Structure 1
Amino acid sequence: MSGELMRTRRGDHTRLLLFLLVADQLTTADEEVAAEAATVLVSCHAIAAPAREAFAAHVGAQRAAHGPGAWTAPEAGLRTSHQEAVRALARLGDARALPSLPAALDSDVDAWRAIQVAGHLPLAADQLVSLIRDHLRRIDLCQQWTEMSANALLSALTVLGDGCHGCGGGPARRRIAP
C-alpha cells in the first residue's frame, strides 16, 4: 500500500514522510523486511531520489558485512534487498551502485537485473561493456526462453556505447552522482 500511495501522489516527494519511513526499513536486521522496502522503493524509482542516501548506506553495510558476494548471497532476503538497492542507486545514476553490477555480470547470478540498469551508469561503460558483450555472446538464440533477452543486452550496449572512445562511439557523457 505504501508503494501505491507514493506512486500516485503528485508533487514534491522529498518531504513525503511515508517515503522516508519505508527507506528507514532498509536498516532493519530483518532481511525480508529490508528486501520488501527496497522492492517498494525501486517500484517508485521515478521519485526515489529522497532515499538515495538510505540506499547507499544499505548497500555499503551489506558490502561491509558480506563482501562482494552480497549480490549472490544464498539468503533470498539479503540478495533481494541488496540487488534492489543497487538497482535503485544505478537508476539514480549513482556510482555507489558499483562494484555490485560488475560482480553481478561476472557471477551470472540474476545478471538480468544488472543489465536492466546498466545503461543508467554510462561513465561506468569501461567496466560494463565487455561483461555485457560476454553475456550477449553466450545467449543461445535457438532457445525459446532465456533468462535474459538479446534485446535487453543490446539496449544496454546501445546506451553505454561501444567503448571505442577514440572513434566517437563511446558512452554518452552524463554525470554520475557521488
Structure 2
Amino acid sequence: MASIRNSNGFSLVEAMVVIAIVAIMGVFAVPSMISWLNNKGLQNAARDMYSNLRKAQSIAVKNNRNCAISFNGTTGYTVYVDLDKDYERDAGEEIIAQASWSQYRNVVLDGAVNFADNASSQPTVAFRPNLIPLEAGGTAGNGTISLKNDKSRKADITISVSGNISMKWL
C-alpha cells in the first residue's frame, strides 16, 4: 500500500530558502533606499526654496509691494511682504512662507548666503513689483543659495540681476 503524503503548507527547508532570498535582496536594497531618501530631502528643500522665490515675485507684482526673503542664519528663511521697504519683517507685515532646513532630511546651507545683511544681520533680498531683486541697502540683488545633503550632493538656487531664478544640481 502506498503512503499518502500530506502536501499542505511549506516545509521548513522551503521557508528558510525564501527567507534567505529576501534577506539577500534587502542587503542590496536598503543602502539604495537610504541614498534615495537623502537625495529626496535635498530635492524637496531646493524645490521649495525655488517655489517660494517665485511666489515672492508673484506677490510683489500682485500687491505692487516689495516682497522680501530673509535668511535666518543657518536655520531657514522667511518670505514676507515688506511694506516699509526696510528689508526686515516688522509687526503687521504678512508672512508668505517660512521654512526651516531641519524639516528636510539632512539638508544644510553650503556656506553663507551671499546677499547683503539687513539691520538684523540677516542676508535679505527683496523683489520689487517690476521683478527686479534688490539687496538691503538698495543695491542690485543677485546671488546664490547653496544647499547640500550629508552625502555632499548640492543644489544651487541663483537669482540674477534681472530677476531670473534658476536651479542647478551639482
The TM-score by the shorter chain falls in which range?
Answer: under 0.3
TM-score in terms of structure 2 length: 0.21
Structure with greater contact order relative to length (CA < 8 Å, sep ≥ 6)? 2
Query: Which has the larger helix fraction?
Result: 1
**Structure ranking higher in strand proportion:** 2
TM-score (norm 1): 0.20
